[in-house]
Chains A and B, each alone.
Chain A
Amino acid sequence: MERENRIDSVHWLIINGEKRIATVNLFPGVQVYNEKLIVKEDIEYRLWDPFRSKLAASIIKGLKTLPFQEGSKVLYLGASTGTTASHISDILGENGVIFCVEISPRVARDLLDKCVKYRKNMIPIIEDARKYGNYYSLFGNIDVVYCDIAQPDQTDIAISNCKHFLKKGGDLLLVIKSRSINVIKKPSQVFKEEEKKLRRAGFKVKQIIPLDPFDKDHILIHTMFV
């Protein structure tokens, strides 16, 4: 087993000669999205698929630091069925908390059945991320906001959530999907404009990672809220 020290909580395994990333399964024996479970030295790992999870893609593409670690509080906007959220939950461990905001009832059903049921650090919030005043079960200061929602005003939604809940010096990981912001404009143009919005709102951009070939016309922006 080889381990790159770039990010401690993410493990690099070599499977059939291929380098793959994985997290330690918080609830051994349970899969979330039919990912492979691998036991090595009595520790069960869940392989993290970069084609399914944009955070995994960004780690493979060179994300320098992961802003959350064991015990952090994360607000996850657009948790969907919990593919990425479950890996974050692995990393946060028993003492961390991840608030999963999702609006669509259909995918929230899978989120509840496959993730929340087993993972004690997950708290579901079925609500529109635009109406952050209605999040009921949120508590405490949030260390990191992760936002992956396909809406034209996604950057504004992320910013307003951060202003409300994110602690000073906390991080925002924002996935920008240029196709859902504006189909007509060039992706590079869209990215520039969204980045500008973030800077104007008081975010310091730490790193920008294009996610191709895993997701076309996507980038992940890692920013700090000052």
Chain B
Amino acid sequence: MKGILYICEVGSIVLDENLEIVSTWKYPKSAQIDSYEKLKRGELPSGLMDLLNSIKNIDALIVVESELGRSLSKEGFQIEDASNELIDELMFKKISLMVKSGLASSKDDAKDKIRNFAIALSEFKLRKVSAKPDLHIIEAIQALDEIDKTKNTLFSRVKEWYGLHFPELISFFENSTAYVKVISKFGGRENIKKEELVKLGFSIEKAESISISAEISKGGEIRKEELKRISDVAKEVIRLDSLKDKFTSYIEKNMGNVAPNITAVVGANIGARLIAKIGGLKKLAMLPASTIQVLGAEKALFRALRTNTRPPKHGIIFQHKAIHSAPKWQRGKIARSIATKIAIAARIDAFRGRVDKGIEERLQIRLDEIERKYREPPKKKVREIPEQLKKKTRRKKTRKEKKRRGKKGGKRE
């Protein structure tokens, strides 16, 4: 006689071919999820073995879970796979089977048990997913961008406000932090002393010209109270700047752990951005290189698809030095080779997790080859415009025509 091994939420049931219950094993209440996970993975807990050993007259077992079937056949059981019809039938009769086998006291009890199990299983899955380290990198890189944005907003406020008092100062600085540091240290322009500036690390010439322009500034007088407020904002900018550094080093450190190969190929920053864009390391590893190449250039890509024009060559990876510092005609080739290496690196990081030392070198070899081979710009080809586009192109409106249509230059296409 054939038996059916049916794994349900709160216990395992052995049925005969007419779906009559032969024997039941109820999982310990605290270990329902655990038992389910184990059985799904094909492990054989002692309770299951007791259940199977207790039954007699059964020569072959029909098993729904294929992993479990494999492990059981290794243990010497005669195993058959369940047919789709049987799986469906079991599902339709699940509630009544649970009641009949004594796993549940009534239909409502069975429903309750199934629901509680479903909730527990969902929570278990969520807990597992939320512990992934790449999620923290995604949050961190987004936090970094937000900090940067806030810093720049506040910085331009300081610039405008302090500019009322000493507008010339900004022209001496390229770097925003050095500027705000000077403001928060000295306050009013009359306090800016040449010697003090030199102490802060400015060259003597620069310090002198700053102090001279402070004397002859076009800026208005300012009260202490306003200076205090400006300096408060300036301090915030300095604080945000150091916060930014902290995040950058955090991302670098953690990308080195989570995705060492991607980091080797494109650096921590771009790598983290790619992972954030697609929503996880594993997802990135599933992408083809051609998608990785244009990740972040979706707008341009879909425009190209819609209008049948040329697609973008690079998305986020444009920030890679090898691409944006290369001559234009090489960029497509470089972007392609970097994207393929990212795809390989992502797969190693996601599934193997070891460092592949050669990957960076191999990329460099190809980059050198591109540089050597395509030193000269290609001759310009005259591109034929597709027929359908030709019709759409309109003559540019003259200024007169635009004026007639009103301020904004005609209606939108």
Question: A interface vs B, CB < 8 Å?
Answer: 97, 105, 108-109, 112, 116, 120, 122-126, 133, 136-141, 164-165, 183-184
Contact = CB atoms under 8 A, between A and B. Distances in A.
B118 A112 contact: no
A96 B117 CA distance: 18
B94 A136 contact: no
Given A105-B130, A109-B126, A184-B306, A139 B95 contact: yes
B9 A137 contact: yes
Contact of B125 (A116, A120, A126, A183): A126
B121 A137 contact: yes
Contacts of B36: 136
Nearest to A167: B92
B122 A183 contact: no
Contacts of B119: 112, 116, 124
Interface string B107-141: 00001001101110111011001100000000000
Given A105-B129, A112-B123, A137 B117 contact: yes
A-B CB proximity, top 7 nearest: A137-B118, A139-B94, A105-B129, A124-B122, A123-B118, A126-B122, A126-B125
A125 B92 contact: no
Contacts of B122: 108, 112, 116, 124-126
A136 to B, nearest CB: 7
Nearest to B90: A139
Interface residues of B, number: 24
Given A105-B130, A112-B119, A112-B122, A123 B114 contact: yes
A108 B121 CA distance: 12
Nearest to B130: A105
Contact of B92 (A97, A122, A136, A141): A141
A59 B37 CA distance: 42
A108 B94 contact: no
B126 A126 contact: yes
B302 A183 contact: yes
A165 B87 CA distance: 11
Contacts of A140: 91-92, 94-95
B305 interface: yes
Contacts of B92: 139-141
B88 interface: yes
Contact of A125 (B88, B94, B118): B118
A68 to B, nearest CB: 17
